[in-house]
Amino acid sequence: MEPSMASPDNNIPTTSYPAITRQAAGYIDGILTDVMYSSFSDKIMVTITQRGRLAQWINVPLDVSSPSATDQYLPSATGDDSLLPMIHLTPKTLLGGATQERETLGQLYAAQIASLIASENPQEKRTVVIGLGLSKAEASREDFYNTIDLVRKCL
Residues ≥6 apart with Cβ < 8 Å to 154: 22, 23, 24, 35, 36, 37, 46
Query: pTM of the prediction?
Result: 0.76
DSSP characters over 31-81? EEEEEEEEE-SSEEEEEEEETTB--EEEEEES--SS--GGGGGSPPP-GGG
Whether 113 and 151 have beta carbons less than 8 Å apart is answered as yes
Order of all β-strands in the sheet with 92-95: 20-28, 31-39, 43-50, 127-133, 56-61, 92-95
Q: Are residues 126 and 90 in contact, defined by beta-carbon separation less than 8 angstroms?
A: no
Nearest to 91 by CA among 127, 117, 116, 140: 127
- Rounded Cα distance between 15 and 32, Å, is 28
Whole-number pLDDT of residue 65: 57
Give residue-wise pLDDT tens across range 26-70: 999 999 999 999 999 899 999 999 999 999 999 999 986 544 443
Report the run of H or E that residue 58 belongs to, with start and end. strand 56-61
Q: What pLDDT is attached to residue 85?
A: 63
